[in-house]
Structure 1
Amino acid sequence: MSSSRYFRRTVLCAALGLGLSSLAMTPARAGNTDGAVVGRTQAAATLTITSPSTGLTRTIVADSHGNYRFPFLPVGRYVLTASSAGHALGEPQNVTVSLGNTTTVDVGIKTAATELAAVNVVSSTLPIIDVTSTESATNISHAQLQRLPVEQNVASVAMLAPGVVKGNAGIGGISFGGSSIAENAFYVNGLNVTDFYNRNGFSEAPFDFYQEFQVKTGGYSVEFGRTTGGVVNAVARTGTNEFKFGTTITMEPGNWHSVALNRYDADGNRYITSSRDRQSLIKTNVWASGPIVKDKLFFFAMYEQRGNSPRNTDDLGEIMNEHNGDNGFWGATVDWNITDRNTLSLMAFSDKDHDVDSVYGYDYATDTEGARTNVVNNRTGGRNWALTWSSYLTNDFSMKLMYGKNQRQSNTESQLDEQCNVVAATSAVLNQYPPGAALGCTNSSTVYARTDKRTQYRADFEWTLGNHLLRFGYDHEKDVSDYARHYAGPGGYYYNVYATTPGSTIDNGGVVPPGYNAYVRARQYVIAGTFPTINSAVYLEDNWSITPNLVLNAGIRNDSFDNEAANGQSYIKIDKQIAPRLGFSWDVKGDATMKIFGNLGRYYLPVANVINIKQAGGLLDRRTYYGFDGWETQTLNGVSYVVPRLGPQIGNVDESQGNGTVGDLRSEVDRHMDPVYQDEAILGFQQLLSAKWSWGVRGIYRRMHNAIDDMEISATPQCGGNGYVGWVMANPGKNVTVWGDTNCDGTPDGWVTINTAKYGWAMYDSAGNYLGQRGWKKPKRTYGAFEFQLDRAWDEKWSLNASYTIAWNRGNAEGPVNSDTDFDDTGRTENWDNPYVNLSNGFLPNDRRHQLKVRGTYALAKHWQVGANLELNSGGPITSYGVGNPYDATNYHSYFICVDKCGSIPGQFDADGNPVQYPSEDRVYHEVKRGNYGRLPWTYTVDANITYLRPFDGGTLRVKLTAFNLFNQQRTVQVDQDLQTSISNSTNSTFLQPFIFQPPRYVQLAVALDF
């Protein structure tokens, strides 16, 4: 071995307290709440690992080859010793265990590392290359976050990893590797806290509650599933034998926020009013930790009081919303070292939040508020807890059991919900019967309350058999949504007023009585019930040390899910979702300074609960029709408004769209539906350049298969347009089997199979003549990227991490949401409503060709540090959307632009004086491609902080001043992409108009005292 290589390895081992094996690469995998220590020593030697801070001690005996493994170790620092026949083997080793990783330590055998172990390097100075891991993951500790300018939320931590981008600003979220925002998973101490209603969020605790994060961007183990995006895995802080306590006060005064810019159109008209928006926040966090029983029982407890009072105007500057949130967070962990082989841990926290929004009339010119018109209460969050038992059953066989619950509520109610019905009227009615006041007193049509409760349990096992490490387990969740939704106002009625003529027949078959030129539709729309989903999985994985330097990881996971309707009947049930995963890691030089790794894997995505609720929810859609007897004026909060005065009822009550019971689900769900899954391939390289520097590169390719979405099956091959089935949850572009009409007599009587790649959607001309049918394109989504990383580890002086990603995200389907049209009902997008909606292939909304991330810290002096975080992104694609298609005038987003004979025929009117429309078959359309209008501008954000640190007798003072978006960039991140909003050849006046921007600069001061 050359002297330079010898020294490099020695420095690595001494600095980390690791003796890296030159004889065998022990298979290494760590759990989702802890880490592991593995290595070699003398055959049959006794090894003991001890936590100095908690007294946790575990003892095992190495096998006949000297291999050993300590699995399921809580994150922290340990001392490792080995002995044989009563004699110590070598010196005690200091070992650091990090979340989800494995530390390799050789004890008592002669290696290059042990020969020069006296080399003294600070333990935190080295980048770590885990030569046994095939995952792509980024670990970020609580200590690192204290040094960096990172916003205090989990999403901002995840954004530090390469390949992670912010989702569309309209619906938020983060995107991993080209996936949509609704495909990720979030864990705290092994508890899945992902929102299962829409998969667009997660339960969250304050920063100071977490000890470490691991952001998995690809290649993760089979113990993780139910995601085709990424995984954010966090572990909470714990107590030790030393009593500690502290407090942090975080302040963001309103005058430390830069003013957001108003926006004006080409004619100088203000269309976004932001300059009067204000934000003010103060948080006080207190925590304590320590022993309940020394070396046995420990606690960590935290309480955070949050005062948040933002105010903002509407776009026109005519309404002011003043928010007041005064909410407390609490969280705790309790850890019990029952014996040296058994531990019990409890984690619990509550992120309940109550925001009160007071709504006032507002005059922008004079900056004055009028009377309060409404009070809106928003309640979110809930209680979460997880209990985990870890046990060393034998030297080679270990077990971890977890049981926990995750709760999230989402309730919105306002003063107007009880007192105000929504009222709408056609222009013909308004011309004939001008109301004299506003229609109704609310624009909020939907009142809803939802509580989501997850009950989760899992069992994970590890069994070492020679050069094989077998990991297997069972993962089960019951996800229950209690949901209630109805229209606002007395009786839950939505009133629509339509013009008519006496004697006309209306929608329900009723005849308009004499003397009435308008009628009222009073509609009730109610969905309520309890909607469970059962998710379960089993997994098996073998980590095999084929040679001393080569590890092969082979695993398989079998997932199933069962989404149930309101009556308990299975709505969508799919099992046998077999997910194979294969990876390798090659320690090229055998000294842990260079590795080549790769993996192939399949990942499945479950169906969100919003599908059970809105597609199989026992819908009541009751429509009652009345003659219109004019407007009735009412007053609330000093504001006058009108509601329709109801005349005689016309016809019968219509419940044909939903009578409150669950319908025949056989006609609503594909009988042989396939799941949504994604295949992934990764090949990577990492190298240690010196004791402090490392670099790496990896290539990633992902391909999504299938979509589950709603499709309108309006024709069948057997019966043509007479075979109408209705809205069906299915796989677009594949065979769909539903209960339908087999003999074309209009009555469902058997199973019908439609190849939706060719058939399923009926086409008609303007006279209603059937023209044939068309099928759907299959969904496509691919992601290809190269990621480059450079890391300089912290050595008490400075640190640096930089990554550059070049990526291509293509296809015709973003995923289960449409972020470019702000549609976030997961799995119910417009994409597959009919075959003409989603024809276009191109670059998808989360495509960012270039991404540069740089973060670091520099110690100016003994007590002063500065930090910075830079993110630079190229803009996403811009698409021009139209509405309708050559065979449908429905207003929805489509890739067709009407260019000729659109809208009404000039000079032609019907008997009632309404303009005559061009027949649909005469209209001329131009099909557009995704991204046909170029790209959004590049954006960059620089966050910076300066920190003052002052140790004192018994404690530390930390004062951190951070400026987010230091240069106050307020660039455009979203524009109006609706080229047409109706069937016409006119261009929408706001097309390409910017409407979402980078948030302005704000400054945060955090003062922390730790004792």
Structure 2
Amino acid sequence: MKRATLALTLVLPLVLAGPALAQVTTASLAGKVSDEQGLPLPGATVEAKNLASGFTFRAVTKENGTFLLANLPPGKYEVTVSLSGMKPESQTLEVLLGQTATANFRLTVDQLFVEEVTVVGSKIIDIKSPEIATNISPDQLVYLPQRERNFINFAALAPGVYVDPREDSSRYFRAGASSAKQVNAFIDGVSYKNDMMEGGAFMQDASKGNPFPQNAVQEFQVLTQNYKAEYEKSASAVITAITKSGGNTFSGDAFFYYQDKDMVTLDKLSKERGLSKPDYKRQLGGLSLGGPITKDKLHFFFAYERNDQDRFNQVFHGPLWDSPNVPPELKNRLSQYATGNVKAPYESNLYFGKLSWQPNLGSTVDVSYYSRDEDERRGFGGQRVEEGAERFRITSDSLVTKWSAVVGSQSFNELTGTWQELRWFPSAFGSTPRQNYIGLLDVGSKDASQDFKQTRYTLREDFTTYFSYRGEHTAKAGVSANFMDYTIIKTLFPNGYYEYREAEHWQYPVLARLGFGDPKLAFSNNQYGVYLQDDWRMSPTFTLSLGLRWDYETNMLNNKWKTPSGLLSAMQNACRTYSQPVGGKTTWCLNEILDFNRFTTDGTKRDSYKGMIQPRLGFSWDASGHGTTVVFGGWGKYYDRVALNDIFDEKYRHSYKIYTFCFVEGACSNPIPWRPEYATPEGLAGIISSGQAPGPEVFLVANDMKPPRSDQWTLGLRQQLGSWLVGASYAGIRTYNLMAWIFADLPPGTTFNDRWSGQIPIPGYARAFKTTTARKSKYDALYLTLDKPYTADSRWGANVAYTYGKAKAFGPGTDGVIFALDYVAPQDFDWHPADFDERHRLVASGTVGLPWGFRLSSILTLGSGTPFTIYDASAGWNNFKVRFGDGRFEKRSFLGIKEWVYRSLDLRLDWESPSVGGVRFGVSGEAFNVFNYVNEGCPGWGTGFIPPAGESNPSFGKGECQFNPRRYQVGVRVSF
């Protein structure tokens, strides 16, 4: 069946050959042809020939002289306008991804005039779009400073978008007040949405790698807000990228970049801790090649990139290693484990291949394949010894076929078929029990192995037509079907986990954990989407963008799940009599506070949500009438989806049980006396079989849970000032239906300090939690942008994006699997600064051409920092308070402005030789954080803890890490 589905999705576009304008892969050129008196010229031929591929696209002007050249792959074109009796003339123009450029032509007997078009160099700049969009050009991808060749990093050039600069962190992007779960990324029109876990796209959770070969990316666009109805499964920002294609001449490149230990500065915090610089070496290499198979008809392109790193993690004894309380025999045993610098290798291989064919005028076929294999040894360092390492792997594979063609004279069609598999699977190397001797060493094998796999088969149809009715319309309609298969395998604590502490002289554990059972969850889900979009040019100066989208998923929430009968019976009989009244009563039963009909199911109560109706409206007004001053704005609804890992525990905790055992009085209410035989998994299993162990935790998903949704609105102004484009806009976002786990077993009236002991016990089970979608966020921002593209004439370009934003959250956090356990109930949620609340962010980039083949480029990044949570015990533990987002790191100065927590100036100097036989040789040197600014982050408990009166916390306000110290990198490149 799966083979048949694969064949259908990949071959159907070729069989049907349905002749299109794809919303995320192409550009358009529209306009009007008139004579000297301004009268329309019907029947004129407008032909655009791609200068690289030779592919030709043609349109004929209508009765009113208008034309539309849609479905244009972004790039440079020779545009020719001809009409019988007049001299044909040509103009070279460049169109950019996702933009509808407007060029009006005026023909005379002798010559051609191009009017009412914003041209910088040969690029046509679309300033009339209602979207807040940032285009990242091919030159920026090649010449701007780039530490690791991850094209996602350049998304930070867009206002309102943040990419974590830490090299060891997850390499994903986010925007506004939302987490990375709410973003999406499209490559050649194909969604790489990760339905299962953190990261939003590409399975980027915990990955330090590049998800896609940068030398295969031609350009990309970041849509911060107000994107049209064509885009699905995102309540936040969207990246849409297109890949390179071969042309009529053979071209390609090869590159190599190098960095080692001596090129990296040790950060200030590591120096204060007395740490030495670990060994390190990184090599980035790759090549690309494209060219003709048949001139003007069939071309190929291939790209490969490799990231090879020899990293070393530092393993060292804990602060209690020299304590006299350490038993000599234990110290002798732990001394056998290696400390110091321990090798942690990383490698990544990325492949991309593409065939492009134009069987006839206006019709194209693309077939592409992409593969990623990322492999790393990680999970150790600090007190965790090498024995605890895991093999961390991410793989991606995608095969895409796409047919697009002209239908008649004013319509286009595109049909896409995709097979895609994303996989994220860290695994343990050994199977020995983990023994964590707190303050000494943490030994034993990794206590978890996981495997997340997502398979997608997609069919997508997009149809575009251009017609006149009270103005000019570009109307689009599309439908998509995704057939999804999900598999999650989580094997946690299979060999036992034991935690020892100084209070017991590390002689026996304070607690242990053991997991066993069926760790697998697998099910299928079908996702359908349909949209209508009309860009209505009501007059030469006013355009209205009208869109409507509807999405539907058959099985987002594992709808066929059945609550175990044993659990249901236990909950129905769960009651407790308290010694003091709680909420006005002394006896409470669980069925009084929990809606069983809403939180339990027999496999039929969980209907798929049908309300993902998303109207979207935008406008642009050319106030000057010359395309130099444009007012724009819009409003829309955007739905996302619930990540599978967020609700995974509902089934998992019943099929794979995790038990926690407590052996010390005071650490829990009913400790189990320690016995030596408990030091093995078999011994812990004996406790379970004897009935002494507490039961598993209970997780209950609301049957009527709605997916996340955001309402967005925008109002802005764009102004062309010579070769500069200036933009100012207000952006507002309100996000709803954000999920969190909350206590399900606390009666009303439970106090904050009683939330861990005031539950109604469920016989045979531990604590119970339920979902709530009461969490929400709001974001208001002012975006200011300045753009001057690099041109051959001026030999310099610059881009500036400044964001002033306020992000607030209602309820806990905005990232990860959210547990609202610092609240008793959702009624206690309040508004506070969100995790991503950063008042000021400035990102500026620039490039200048220098004599003798040199080029200097830079990126300046300044951020005022995000908040951390205050844990306030200053009034005593009985009055303990959690103050979300109430702490801020110390601000530091840049150019006399003391407003910044993050500061970095990155520089790159390139030299490229003159062409010799079509071959160019180049070298580059890069410096990141040139001034070695201290950038503080990673807030922990100590960062925000205010102790009771009379006690002190020297760590208050200090981050647990410093990142992005000064680094250098050198590289070589050959191109032809």
Q: TM-score, normalised by structure 1?
A: 0.75
> 2:657 maps to what in 1?
621
Answering whether residue 215 of structure 2 is matched by residue 208 of structure 1, we say: yes
What is the rounded CA distance, in whole Å, between the counterparts of 2:223 and 2:938 in structure 1? 28
Q: How much has 1:240 moved relative to structure 2?
A: 0.4
Partner of 2:460: 458
2:405 to 363, 371, 391: 391
Residue 58 (structure 1) shift: 2.6
Query: Shift of residue 380 of structure 1?
Result: 1.1
Task: Indicate the SS of the match to 1:208.
Answer: helix
Secondary structure of 2:624's partner? coil
- Aligned with 1:699 (options 730, 736, 753): 730
For the residue of structure 2 that corresponds to 1:79, the secondary structure is strand
Please say if 1:787 is aligned against 2:783.
Answer: yes
The answer (yes or no) to whether the contact 2:302–2:354 under 8 Å persists in 1 is yes
Corresponding position of 1:973: 937
Partner of 2:637: 602
1:98 maps to 2:99:
no
Q: Per the alignment, do residues 814 and 132 of structure 1 end up closer, same or farther by CA in structure 2, a change over 3 Å counting? A: farther
Pairing 1:401-800 to 2, within 5 Å after superposition:
401-416=415-430, 418=431, 420-422=432-434, 441-442=443-444, 444-466=446-468, 467-488=472-493, 492-494=495-497, 523-524=515-516, 526-561=518-553, 562-565=555-558, 573-617=608-652, 619-621=655-657, 630-631=675-676, 652=690, 668-690=700-722, 692-714=723-745, 778-796=774-792, 797-800=795-798
* 2:283 aligned residue: 282
Does the alignment pair 1:226 with 2:226? Answer: no
Question: What is the one-letter code of the residue matched to 1:534?
Answer: N
Contact 2:810/2:829 (CA < 8 Å) preserved in 1?
yes
SS of 2:280's equivalent in the other structure is: coil
**1:806-839 alpha-carbon deviations (Å, 9 max, x no partner):** 2111232476x43xxxxx23xx433687427963
Q: Is 1:995 equivalent to 2:960 in the alignment?
A: yes
1:361 and 1:166 map into 2 onto residues whose CA distance is: 26
**Is the contact between residue 636 and residue 712 of structure 2 (CA under 8 Å) also seen in structure 1?**
yes
| 1:143 matches 2:139 | yes
The structure whose residues are more often helix, as a share, is 2
CA distance in 2, matches of 1:328, 1:444: 25
1:853 aligns with 2:855: no
1:68 to 1:447, Cα distance in 2 relative to 1, 3 A: same
Asked if the contact 2:837/2:866 (under 8 Å) is kept, the reply is: yes
Deviation (angstroms), 1:545: 1.4
* Contact 2:867–2:889 under 8 Å retained in 1: yes
Maintained 8 Å contact 1:702/1:784: yes
Would you say the 8 A contact 2:904–2:930 is kept in 1?
Answer: yes
Deviation at 1:876, TM superposition (A): 2.0
Deviation at 1:279, TM superposition (A): 2.9
Aligned-partner residue type, residue 422 of structure 1: R
Corresponding letter in the other structure for 2:779: Y
Equivalence for 1:338? 359
- The CA distance in 2 between the partners of 1:935 and 1:703, in whole Å, is 29
Change over 3 Å in CA distance of 1:982–1:521 after alignment to 2: farther
Q: Match for residue 380 of structure 1? A: 394
Select the residue among 807, 810, 825 that pairs with 2:808: 810
The structural deviation recorded for 1:655 is 10
1:799 CA drift (Å)? 1.2
Which secondary structure does the structure 1 equivalent of 2:201 belong to? coil
Task: Tell me the alpha carbon deviations over residues 597-623 of structure 1, each in whole angstroms, 9 at most, x when there is no partner.
Answer: 111111112111213433334532175
Q: Distance in 1 between matches of 2:615 and 2:144?
A: 38
Aligned residue identity for 2:151: V
**Post-superposition offset of 1:440:** 8.6
TM-score scaled by structure 2? 0.77
Contact 1:211–1:235 (Cα < 8 Å) also in 2: yes
Q: 2:742 touches 2:826 (CA, 8 Å); kept in 1?
A: no
Give 1:38 shift: 1.0
- 1:56 equivalent to 2:55? Answer yes
2:123 is aligned with 1:158: no
Indicate yes or no: 2:799 matched with 1:801. Answer: yes
Equivalents in 2 of 1:845, 1:113: separation in Å?
A: 60
> In the alignment, which residue of structure 1 is the partner of 2:972?
1007
Deviations 1:712-746 (A, max 9, x none): 3336xxxx67xxxxxxxxxxxxxxxxxxxxxxxxx
Please, which runs of 5 or more residues in structure 1 have no aligned partner?
A: 1-27, 364-370, 428-436, 499-515, 634-640, 722-757, 819-823, 883-896, 903-922
Q: 1:147 to 1:926 in 2, by over 3 A?
A: closer
- The DSSP-based 3-state class of the residue aligned with 1:54 is coil
Q: Which of 814, 823, 839 in structure 1 is aligned with 2:829?
A: 839
Looking at structure 2, the residues matched to 147 and 413 of structure 1 have their Cα atoms a distance apart, in angstroms, of: 38
Q: Assess, with a 3 A threshold, how the Cα gap between structure 1 residues 319 and 993 changes in structure 2: closer, same or farther.
A: farther
SS in 2 for 1:899: coil
Secondary structure of 2:409 counterpart? coil
Contact 2:93-2:123 within 8 A present in 1 as well: no
Q: Deviations over 1:400-450 (max 9, x none)?
A: 11121332222222333x2x123579x9xxxxxxxxx99994373322222
Q: SS at 1:563's partner residue?
A: coil
Indicate if the aligned counterparts of 2:350 and 2:371 stay in contact, CA closer than 8 A: yes
CA contact (8 A) 2:401 2:418 kept: yes
Check whether the contact 2:559–2:607 (CA below 8 A) recurs between aligned residues.
no
Contact persistence 1:274–1:315 (CA under 8 A): no
1:34 aligns with 2:26: yes
> Contact conserved, 2:551 with 2:612, CA < 8 A, in 1?
yes
Decide whether the 8 Å contact of 2:82 with 2:89 is kept in 1: no
Q: Deviations over 1:148-188 (max 9, x none)?
A: 21332133110111222245967664331232222111111
Task: Give 1:761 shift.
Answer: 11
Map of 2:903 onto structure 1: 940
Equivalent AA in structure 1 for residue 886 of structure 2: G
Give the Cα separation in 2 of the matches to 1:533 and 1:658: 28
Please state if 1:255 is matched with 2:262: yes
Q: Secondary structure at the match of 2:215?
A: helix
Q: Work out whether residues 183 and 227 of structure 1, in 8 Å CA contact, stay in contact via their aligned partners in 2.
A: yes
CA distance in 2, matches of 1:274, 1:610: 37
Q: Does 1:184 align with 2:186?
A: no
1:550 and 1:932, CA in 2 relative to 1: closer, same or farther beyond 3 A?
A: same
| C-alpha displacement of 1:397 | 1.9
> In the alignment, is the contact (CA less than 8 A) between 1:531 and 1:566 conserved in 2?
no
User: In structure 2, what is the equivalent of residue 725 of structure 1?
Assistant: none
Asked whether the equivalents of residues 449 and 491 of structure 2 are also in contact (C-alpha less than 8 Å), the reply is yes
- Alignment correspondent of 2:897: none
Deviation at 1:594, TM superposition (A): 1.6
Cα distance in 1 for residues equivalent to 2:359 and 2:529: 30
Given that 1:360 and 1:373 are in contact with CA atoms closer than 8 Å, whether structure 2 keeps it comes out as no
Partner of 1:951: helix, strand, or coil?
A: coil
How many Å separate the matches in 1 of 2:760 and 2:140? 68
Letter of the structure 2 residue corresponding to residue 352 of structure 1:
D
Q: Is the 8 A contact 1:177 1:783 kept in 2?
A: yes
Does the aligned pair in 2 maintain the 1:619–1:658 contact within 8 Å?
no
Kindly indicate whether the alpha-carbon contact (under 8 Å) linking 1:342 and 1:389 is maintained by their aligned counterparts in 2: yes
- Tell me what 2:913 maps to: 950
Q: Secondary structure at the match of 2:649?
A: helix
1:759 positional shift: 11
Partner of 1:899: 875
Give the match's secondary structure for 1:32.
coil
By how many angstroms is 1:341 displaced?
3.2
Partner of 1:10: none
Q: Which amino acid aligns with 2:656?
A: L
Q: Which runs of 5+ in 2 are unaligned?
A: 1-19, 34-40, 203-210, 319-338, 502-507, 562-602, 664-671, 762-769, 893-899
Secondary structure in 1 matching 2:519: strand
CA distance in 2, matches of 1:764, 1:325: 43
